[in-house]
Amino acid sequence: MLVPLTREKFEQLIPLIATGRQYKYYWGKFPSFLQRLLISVVAAAIVLLFVVLFRLDFDLVIFILGIVGAFYWLWSPAFQASQRNLKCRRYKYSGFFRGRILDFWITEELISKQETVNNKGDLVIVENREKRINLEIEDETGFIAEFQAPLQVAYKAISRGQWAELVVMSNRADLSTIEEISDVYIPSRDLWVSDYPFLRRDFFAAVSSRLRDNENDTPQRRRRSSGSNRPRQKNDY
């Protein structure tokens, strides 16, 4: 099932301002915090240095620049998450997708490379790899969504044939070309499979419940089961 969403619903699902989960995602681990803190100290020091060297008065502009620089460590995660949300909100159209998990598998992906020197003075390249789960989700029309996320222990509950729900984004009104997909929700396990938590989960639960009720109320003769890859056309929700 692929149901187009109204712009209003889409903007509720992916808010412009970062949610708590999104903020936590970009907060990162201690090294990330330490890096932001160092940038904050340097920024505050630069502002102070300019004030001293050029004998500037502590006017409102200087004060604001100092505060912004000093608290970079605090507001930076919210800014990064909001920028990522904005990138998604630039897509003109979106849809609610529900299908069954056709297949899933584990891969090991290269995340980054680091160059270091060993005890002998030789250059050594260290590869940072991460295990990821890959999902193929197919609806009754044959339309397939592919998704990948960092592997977690909770994902042991995933099995083929389970229902999965997500939001797809596109610049085409018929959603025939999918540009981006959100995190995935598996209702039977109350399980989210995600890397970055795109969706407001409370709003998504309401949309999911509403559409599920509408689908149950729809007569069977109106439902398609063709093998076409073209998405189902329904009225906007």
- What would the pLDDT profile of 59-115 be if each residue is shown by its tens digit? 788 888 889 999 999 999 999 999 999 999 999 999 999 999 999 999 998 887 877
Per-residue confidence at 138, pLDDT binned at 50, 70, 90? very high
Helices (H), the chain: 7-13, 20-27, 30-53, 60-70, 72-89, 201-217
E strands in 118-228 = 123-138, 144-150, 163-170, 180-181, 184-186, 191-193
Per-residue confidence at 127, pLDDT binned at 50, 70, 90? confident
User: pLDDT averaged over the chain?
Assistant: 86
**Tokens standing for residue 45:** 């020091």
Per-residue confidence at 216, pLDDT binned at 50, 70, 90? low
Return the minimum-mean-pLDDT range out of 102-111, 140-149, 184-193, 207-216.
207-216
- Residue 51 has a pLDDT of 82
Q: CA-CA distance, 122 to 74, in Å (whole number)?
A: 39
Q: Are 177 and 210 within 8 A, CB to CB?
A: no
